[in-house]
Amino acid sequence: MTTSGASWQRRAFAGLSGLLAAYASLAVAELIAALVRPEAGPVAAVGGAAIDRTPAPVKDWAIRTFGEDDKAVLQLGILVVLGLLAVALGLVALRYRRAGAVGVLAFGVVGAVAATSRPDSVSLTDALPSLMGALAGAGLLHWLIGRLRPSGSTTPSAAGPEPAWDRRGFLLSAAAAAAASTGAGGLGLALGGSRARDAVASREAVVLPAPASPAPAVPGGARPRVAGVSPFVTPNKDFYRVDTALVVPKVDATTWRLRIHGRGVGRPLTLGFQDLLDRELIERDITLTCVSNEVGGPYVGNARWIGVRLADLLREAGVRPPSRGGGADQLVARSVDGMTLGTPVEDLMDGRDAMLAVGMNGEPLPLDHGFPARMVVPGLYGYVSACKWIEDIELTTFDAYDPYWVKRDWAREAPVKTQSRIDTPKPFARPAAGAVMVGGVAWAQHRGIDRVEIRVDDGPWQRADLAAEHTTDTWRLWSFPWKATPGGHTLTVRATDRTGTVQTEKRTGTVPDGASGWHSVVVTVE
C-alpha cells in the first residue's frame, strides 16, 4: 500500500475509533441507567432537555410535521449528530490523542447536566449513566488510537514516509471493543426489560370492577355508517398520543402511589392503585383534544373511560372550590416523568365528569396512555388537564405556580374551542360526479354540538345531518349528501355549539390556547 493510502486508512480507522467510542459510551450508559433509572440514560436525558428548551412554535411544528413520530425523529437526530461528532473526535485524537478523549468526557458532562436538570430527576445519581459511559468511551478511544500509532510513537510525523503500524492488531481490538459494548448494551436492555415486564405484568393482573355509575347507553343513531368518517369510539391503538416522554414510563401498579396535598387540603391522602379500584367508579364516554391539534387535525379522539371522580377525592381531602371559599384555585398534577399540568379547581368540582381514570375502552389504561392512572377532564385541552402516569396532586394557586406548558407561553386556562372536521372526501380527492357523501366530526366538549353546516365554494351554508347526541362531552358525527358537479370545488364546514356560539372563521395557530378557523378541503370532481 502507498504511503498516501496508508495515511487515509489510518484516518478512516480513527473515525471508526470515534464511532466505537460513542457506541461504547452509550452502551455502558444504558447499562448504568438500567440500574439507576432508565430515564437517566443520555439519549433520553439530552432529548428531554432539548424538548424542555425548544420554543413552543418549534414543538408545534414538530408535532405537525412528524406527528407521533416526532420523538423517534428527535432521537434519531441526536444519534446522527453524536455519530458525526464522534468521527470528528476520532480524527482529532489521531493527532492529539488526549484531546480526543477529553472531548468524549465533555459530552459525558453535557449528558450528566441534562439528566440532573430534568424535572423528574430525583438525585445526583442520575448523572452516573452519562459520566460512566463517557469514561468508558474516552478510555476506549485513547486505547484504539494508540493501536494506530507506530510502536514508541507519541505523535504522528508531519513529514516523511508513513511509519508502520499494526493494522491487524487494530482490527482485532476494534472487534473486541464492539463485542464488549454490544454485551454491555444487551445486559442493559435485559435489566431495563425486567422493570418493563413488572409494569406489564401488573397491568395484565388488573381486573376492572364493574362501575357503580355505568356510562349511559350510546344511541344507535350516534354511530351512522358513513365510509371514511371516524368511528364514534376511537380504538386504543388509534388514539392519539402527544406528550414529551421520550421513554414511555413503565410503572408497576403494585408499588405506585398517588399523593394529594397542598393548600386547603385538610386531610392529605396517599392512595395505591387497589385503593382506587376499591372506590366507587364511574364510566363515561369523553372526547379528548390536544391543544396542538390544528384545524382539521388528527389529535382528537373519543373513548370510554372508567375511574374515580376527582371531585370526590378532593372533597375527601378537605378541598373546597374557590367559589365556596377554598384557598386553592389550581390543581397541579405531576407525572412520574416530571411533567406538570395545571387545572382550575373550579372546573374539577363544578359537576362535570372529571376523573382519575384507570381504564380505557374496557381495559386497563395502555402503558402509553398513562397506566396505572391519568386525569381525564371533559371540556379542557389535554395540556391543562390530562396528566398521564400521575403520581402527585398538589393544590395551589395560579399566582403561586406556573406548570410546564404555561412557562412556555401557553395559556393558563384552556377550554376546548368549538371545532369541526371533514373526514371524507379527503383533500385533493377526485370523486365521480353525482352523489358524494361528505362527512366528519364536530366537538365542543361540555357544551355540545347543536348544528353543523357545509358550504360548497362560495355558495350558501347548508345544514348537515347530525348523528344522535350521546352526551355534551362527546363529539358528534355528521354527514351531508352532496350533488357534485364536474370541476374543482372547495368544501368548508363550521359548527355551532349548544350555547349558540358559531365556530369562528378567524384562523389562529395552536399557541397559546388552541387553533381556530373553518376546515376546508379542495376536491376535483370528474
Helix axes 70-95, 42-53, angle to 10 degrees: 110
pLDDT at 32 over 70: yes
Q: Give 304's DSSP letter.
A: E
For residue 456, the surrounding DSSP H or E stretch is: strand 449-456
User: Average of pLDDT values for 438-467?
Assistant: 98
Three-state SS at 51: helix
pLDDT the model gives residue 4:
54
Higher pLDDT, 372 or 59: 372
For the chain, the average pLDDT equals 92
Quote the CA–CA distance of 33 and 455 in Å, as a whole number: 56
Q: Output the furthest CA–CA distance in the chain (Å, rounded).
A: 88
- How many Å apart are CA 34 and CA 486, to the nearest integer? 62
299 near 66, Cβ under 8 Å? no
Q: Is the model's pLDDT at 188 over the cut of 70?
A: yes
Q: How confident is the model at residue 151 (pLDDT cuts 50, 70, 90)?
A: low
Confidence band for 49, pLDDT divided at 50, 70 and 90:
confident
Find residue 270's DSSP bridge partners. Answer: 259
What pLDDT is attached to residue 296?
97
Lookup: cell for 167:
493494522
d(CA 510, CA 289): 12
**Amino acid 225: pLDDT:** 84
Residue 359: how many other CB atoms lie within 10 Å: 22
The answer to whether 131 and 109 are in contact (CB under 8 A) is yes
Which whole number is the average pLDDT over 71-99? 90
Tell me the mean pLDDT in the region 337-343.
Answer: 95
- Percent of the chain clearing pLDDT 90 (strictly above): 76
- pLDDT one-digit tens code per residue, 110-128: 999 988 888 777 788 899 9
Q: What is the DSSP letter of 126?
A: G
Which phi and psi (to 5°) does residue 195 adopt?
A: -65, -40
All residues at 6 or more sequence positions from 193 whose CB lies less than 8 Å from its CB, including other chains: none
pLDDT at residue 158 tops 60: no
pLDDT-based confidence at residue 259 (cuts at 50, 70, 90): very high
Residue 193 pLDDT class (50, 70, 90 cuts): confident
Which whole number is the average pLDDT over 487-498? 98
- CATH for the stretch 419-525: 2.60.40.650
Helix, strand, or coil (residue 115): helix
User: pLDDT tens for residues 195-247?
Assistant: 789 999 999 999 999 999 999 999 999 998 899 999 999 999 999 999 988 88
Which range, of 61-70, 105-114, 266-275, 415-424, averages the lowest pLDDT?
Answer: 61-70
At 493 the three-state DSSP class reads strand
3-class DSSP state of 212: coil
> Which residues of the chain does CATH 3.90.420.10 include?
220-408
Portions of the chain given CATH number 2.60.40.650? 419-525
Contact 437, 265 (CB under 8 A): no
**pLDDT tens digits along 283-299:** 999 999 999 999 999 99
Q: Residue 192 pLDDT more than 60? A: yes
Cβ-Cβ contacts under 8 Å for 65 (sequence gap 6 or more): none
Determine contact, residues 495/504, Cβ cutoff 8 Å: no
Q: Using the predicted structure, report yes or no on whether residue 6 has a pLDDT greater than 70.
A: no
Q: What is the mean pLDDT of residues 410-426?
A: 97
Tracing cell 398520543 back to the chain, one arrives at 241
Three-class SS of 142-158: HHHHHHCCCCCCCCCCC
Rounded to the nearest 5 degrees, what angle is found at the Cα of 416, between the Cα atoms of 351 and 214?
A: 40
Provide the 10 A C-beta neighbour count for residue 236.
16
Mapped onto helix, strand or coil, the DSSP state of residue 380 is strand
Q: What CATH architecture is 220-408?
A: Alpha-Beta Complex (3.90)
| Predicted structure pTM score | 0.85
Cell of 458: 362560495
Lowest mean pLDDT among 69-73, 160-164, 282-286: 160-164
Q: What is the mean pLDDT of residues 378-406?
A: 97
Mean pLDDT for the stretch of residues 33-41: 86
Q: Cis peptide leading into 366, omega within 30 of 0?
A: no
N-term to C-term CA, the chain: 67
Q: 335: which strand partners?
A: 390
Handedness of CA 58, 129, 247, 275 (dihedral sign): negative
Q: How far apart are CA 159 and CA 218, in angstroms?
A: 84
